Structure 1
């Protein structure tokens, strides 16, 4: 599949004002990549992102693409096409374009590229968040798996600028990473993935980390001071995830509805102008004929 071109955010997208529209294909690395957080999503990755931000590491997360800068999904789609379909190439230059503004990266879909990222950023330390596989599976079923299959997102993707980039990328990732069936393969792939990362990363560069352990092991590993008077973040609960997604669907559908209203009003104004112009021309023609007839009478 051909790489999809970047298009700017429509002016009518007034219900998602915080979405940016940066074309990452024109970007480059601005800061060094220092942390690769390669734990699967729903293992505390959103909480880890908040913790890393507190420690001074700007961290990329799935929400960076889904609700912050949707055009990022175009480059993620390029990366997925290169990995799973053999279409195009996606190497260090492209990773720097996509992630060059960040010092850390976590969550889906980056974890599909664990080996690529470790090779692209060999100096980066690796944090591997984890949790019990059964509780992880149950949480993922009700959040990301639900989101990947959700009719509301599929509908928004047909009419909204941001959703039209996000939904195909999410669907491609979710299908390929879980070998076509998350419900059947999720727990097996969980075990396989963690074994792969442990083999890939030298032990001195790897921290296996449960978010419930708090600041100490994370700060020790990253040589960062423990934030005074701050408890370690706990964010993105199941309820928060679902409500955020449903709210985003509503806002994106409102964008589409508003665009239709603007389009209809514009067409109406054009039609009225044309009718008015036609009517004026007719009146001028009639006056012209009447004037000619009047002059001819003398």
Structure 2
């Protein structure tokens, strides 16, 4: 939903550690230096950690919206509405509001706006993380495609503040970017996307990077020294991704239950508890049938 108003985080959300910054009131405070435009699941979380180690603070990532500051999702929805639905505009001013605290940006949903970001920040260097398309598709199917269609996340989004901001944004991005069917169109979108980025960025301003190449090509491209005695980071593997998402769901369910106890009393809490139990039972029955 575009142009949804900002609402502050409930005081009863004690099981998650989200911030609640309204980016629409923010401005750019540091220069944008790096656009890391490789699709998610090509090592973007590791790259984020690496860029922070190299001094590019902060580096924006999907986790910035999903688990760090969920109100960011409001501006991402504004950006989707402007690009895909023809509603409103989203230009340099709005990018500076959303990303103004960052010197770098990577991962989805930013990749949906590769052209717009390159035009907004022509002085920024572009890094294109990549990997074999088949292994990428297999990894993404088990992680982000699963998360975008996670029935438990959809359920808790009806009740929890953070999930209610994040889930609609993720679903909008996923269905739009991958034409409504990741399994069918994912590989084609991958190949078309990488060809598009290569065509619009001058070769001297583009680094194609694969995980495993280490610090040297990255540091040479960014003109920064190689960190001494530090291994290149490796984070966000498939198993860890799923475990973290499930843990996030549980924490947000706890937020909802606690709010019901504080605000609505025991009756509301009992109804909510029964609803959660029924939902879990339904999910287990569905899994059993499959």
Shift of 1:179: 1.0
Q: Which runs of 5+ in 2 are unaligned?
A: 269-290
Aligned structure 1 segments of 4 or more residues deviating by more than 6 angstroms: none
Match of 1:109 in 2: 109
SS of structure 2 residue aligned to 1:36: strand
Match of 1:55 in 2: 54
SS of structure 1 residue aligned to 2:212: helix
Output the TM-score relative to the length of structure 1: 0.88
Match of 1:276 in 2: none
Q: Which runs of 5+ in 1 are unaligned?
A: 269-298
**Larger Rg computed on CA atoms:** 1
Output the TM-score relative to the length of structure 2: 0.91
Mapped partners of 1:64, 1:48: distance in 2: 14
Any idea what the Cα deviations from partners look like across 1:256-290, whole Å, max 9, x if unmatched?
A: 0001111233999xxxxxxxxxxxxxxxxxxxxxx
Any idea what the Cα deviations from partners look like across 1:158-193, whole Å, max 9, x if unmatched?
A: 000000010000000000001111110000010000
Q: In 1, are the aligned partners of 2:2 and 2:77 still within 8 Å (CA)?
A: no
Structure 1 residues 184 and 29: alpha-carbon distance in aligned structure 2, compared to 1, 3 A threshold = same
Match of 2:280 in 1: none
**How large is the RMSD of aligned CA atoms in angstroms?**
1.2
Matching of residues 1-298 of structure 1 within 5 Å: 2-16=2-16, 18-58=17-57, 59-265=59-265
Number of residue pairs the alignment of both structures matches: 267
Match of 1:295 in 2: none
Mapped partners of 1:157, 1:47: distance in 2: 28
Match of 1:284 in 2: none
Any idea what the Cα deviations from partners look like across 1:56-81, whole Å, max 9, x if unmatched?
A: 00200000000000000000011011
Q: In 1, are the aligned partners of 2:2 and 2:74 still within 8 Å (CA)?
A: no
Mapped partners of 1:165, 1:45: distance in 2: 23
Structure 1 residues 266 and 155: alpha-carbon distance in aligned structure 2, compared to 1, 3 A threshold = closer
